[in-house]
């Protein structure tokens, strides 16, 4: 491979502290309700697993899979649904859980897709927000960290399928072209 995890951008203890406060915010906002977390495969798996344990409410869980990237580090702009939910979300309080928003295309597609199924409410919780990269406006209800225009890996995020298991979030380091 010609790329590897480099400088640590967000260490594991900062991630853990932020996930705890996101969970508390969601518990306050959804008190008395039983929301369903919809994790976006595969990148949000690690975040979703930690988040669900940080929300002291009866929360249920499902997953969806979308694909927007080839093997590169830039969105192709084309979003495809590759695995659907296993339950109905009609009348439910739905919280989409995503790893990172870059251009906003993926999440805007997902929001539109899920809205057609008539949930009671639809919210978005994202771990990383590349605010300056936004091409499509999407309302973000819960955001972990705003980050710059850097490609990051770890804590579920991959490059070419690798590095998801890193406990910290690191900037991908590329070898200069030879």
Closer Cβ to ligand IMP, 17 or 136, answer by number: 136
Q: Which stretch binds ligand IMP (CB under 6 A): 23-31, 56-64, 92-100, 111-119?
A: 92-100
Cβ–Cβ < 8 Å for 163, 99: no
Contact flag: residue 101 with ligand IMP (CB under 6 A) = yes
Q: How many residues touch ligand IMP (CB under 6 A)?
A: 18
Closer Cβ to ligand IMP, 30 or 109, answer by number: 109
Q: Note the residues at the interface with Mg ion (CB under 5 A).
A: 43, 99
Per CB under 6 A, the list member of 37, 46, 89, 106 interacting with ligand IMP is 106
* Closest distance of CB 43 from Mg ion, Å: 4
- Helix pair 12-29, 45-54: axis angle to 10 deg: 60
Active centre residues (catalytic): 102
* Closest distance of CB 112 from ligand IMP, Å: 13
Contact flag: residue 64 with ligand IMP (CB under 6 A) = no
Give all strands (DSSP E) within 42-141, no chain letters: 60-67, 80-83, 93-101, 121-129
b/e sequence 30-43, b meaning 16+ C-beta within 10 Å: beeeebbbbbbbbb
Positive/negative CA dihedral, 51, 55, 61, 62: negative
Contact flag: residue 48 with ligand IMP (CB under 6 A) = no
Query: Could you say which of Mg ion, ligand IMP, none residue 105 binds, taking C-beta under 5 to 8 angstroms by partner kind?
Result: ligand IMP
First to last CA, the chain: 14
Nearest to residue 38, comparing CAs of 62, 65, 67?
Answer: 62
> By the criterion CB under 6 A, which residues form the site for ligand IMP?
43, 68-69, 75, 98-107, 151-153, 157
């Amino acid at each position: 491979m010609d790329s590897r995890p480099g400088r640590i951008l967000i260490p594991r203890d900062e991630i853990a502290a932020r996930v705890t406060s996101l969970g508390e915010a969601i518990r306050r906002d959804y008190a008395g309700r039983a929301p369903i977390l919809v994790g976006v495969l595969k990148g949000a798996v690690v975040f979703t697993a930690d988040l669900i344990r940080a929300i002291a409410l009866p929360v249920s869980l499902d997953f969806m899979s979308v694909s927007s990237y080839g093997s590169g580090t830039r969105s192709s702009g084309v979003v495809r649904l590759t695995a659907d939910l296993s339950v109905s979300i009609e009348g439910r309080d739905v919280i989409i859980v995503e790893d990172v928003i870059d251009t906003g295309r993926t999440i805007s597609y997902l929001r539109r897709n899920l809205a057609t199924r008539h949930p009671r409410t639809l919210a978005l919780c994202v771990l990383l927000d590349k605010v300056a990269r936004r091409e499509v406006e999407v309302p973000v209800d819960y955001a972990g960290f705003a980050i710059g225009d850097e490609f990051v890996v770890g804590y579920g995020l991959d490059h070419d399928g690798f590095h998801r298991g890193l406990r910290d979030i690191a900037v991908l380091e590329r070898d200069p072209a030879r």
